[in-house]
């Protein structure tokens, strides 16, 4: 299936900063969420299609950093787990399946606890049907 990578540092960032003070990220850096509930990263991805939304992240603490994943304002995964990856230099992925509509889709990952989100490197979108997602 076709795939596309969308760097977090190129997305809309609310209550977070672009950082590069750890290793192993793609692109220019990653988003360091402010340690507050409600901080988010929002990507714009063109549809349509059924898609796997793969979020690459690091969590150097021992505590889950859950986030709500929403597509066009509708939560598709509430309090999705972003568990410890061991250190801030070690990255893992968390995947949620969603259906994208035709044209631009807003994919938002919002921290739900006062710890904020994990560090987020990128979103990879793999369409699971015939259409390929593309940058806006």
Does 110 participate in binding ligand GCU (rule CB under 6 A)?
A: no
| Residue 66 touching ligand GCU (CB under 6 A) | no
Looking up tokens 């850096």 gives 29
Candidates 46, 105, 119, 126; binder of ligand GCU (CB under 6 A) is 119
Q: Min. distance of Cβ 33 from ligand GCU in angstroms?
A: 6
What gap in Å lies between CA 44 and CA 63, rounded to an integer?
A: 29
State the minimum distance, in angstroms, from the CB of residue 111 to ligand GCU: 9
Cβ neighbours around 23 below 10 Å, total: 11
CB of 66 to ligand GCU, least distance (A): 13
Q: Does 32 bind ligand GCU (CB under 6 A)?
A: yes
Contact 60, 30 (CB under 8 A): no
Determine which residue in the list 25, 57, 88, 91 makes contact with ligand GCU, applying CB under 6 A: 88
DSSP 84: -
Q: What is the Cα–Cα distance from 61 to 74, expressed in whole angstroms? A: 29
What is the DSSP-derived secondary structure letter of residue 132? P
Interface residue list for ligand GCU (CB under 6 A): 19, 22, 32, 35, 88, 116, 119
């Amino acid at each position: 299936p076709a795939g596309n990578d969308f760097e977090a540092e190129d997305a809309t960032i609310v209550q977070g900063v672009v950082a590069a003070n750890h290793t192993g990220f793609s692109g220019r850096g990653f988003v360091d969420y402010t340690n507050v509930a409600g901080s988010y990263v929002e990507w714009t991805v063109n549809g349509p299609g059924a898609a796997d939304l793969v979020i690459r992240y690091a969590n150097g603490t021992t505590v889950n950093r859950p986030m709500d994943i929403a597509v066009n304002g509708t939560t598709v995964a509430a309090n999705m787990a972003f568990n410890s990856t061991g250190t801030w230099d070690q990255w893992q992925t968390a995947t949620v399946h969603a259906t994208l509509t035709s044209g631009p889709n807003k994919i938002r990952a919002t921290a739900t606890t006062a710890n904020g989100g994990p560090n987020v490197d990128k979103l990879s979108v793999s369409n699971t049907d015939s259409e390929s997602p593309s940058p806006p």
